[in-house]
Amino acid sequence: MKFNVILSTLLIILLSACGGQEKNEDEQQQSPNQTQTDSPKSATMANHPGKKVYDAVCLACHMADGSGVPGMFPPLAQTDWVLEDKERLIHITLEGLSGKIVVNGEEYNSIMPPNSHLSDKQIADVLTYIRQSFGNDASEITIEEVQKVRNR
């Protein structure tokens, strides 16, 4: 129950943040000095099939820019968990994760739900998306790699 409350609160914050950004677009065009946060790489990832999965399944906790929520949901930008051991990354995404972990020097002790209902392709797509977004630049994850971990 408490978890649902946290989630809905986050969604509300997110939704209002999105509305605010739309309003600001006009202002941004008028002030060319404003720094663009999107790198060319993330612009190309905007059409990646993994983005749809990310937005539907992961964004509520890990945020649109992969920055997470301090003390609650760890970031996906530049973390060992995302960039290094592929099998561990696939395993976490399929089975979820709980207990104390350290991500970029910060401790988290929370619960990530499993996503084993997603297809091998959806898992491969979303993991390729996170490994190549948010300033990350790692190799893709294939459907075969997901199958191997799922059937292990």
| Among 45, 51, 79, 128, interactor with ligand HEC by CB under 6 A | 79
Decide if residue 67 touches ligand HEC (CB under 6 A).
Answer: no
Quick one: which of 48, 64, 81, 138 contacts ligand HEC (CB under 6 A)? 81
Contact characters 16-55, ligand HEC, x per CB under 6 A: ----------------------------------------
Give me the DSSP letters along 6-64.
HHHHHHHHHHHHHHHHHHHHHHHHH-TTSPP---HHHHHHTT-HHHHHIIIIIHHHH-T
Report, in Å, the least distance between residue 91 CB and ligand HEC. Answer: 10
Q: Is the dihedral of CA 96, 10, 28, 34 positive or negative?
A: negative
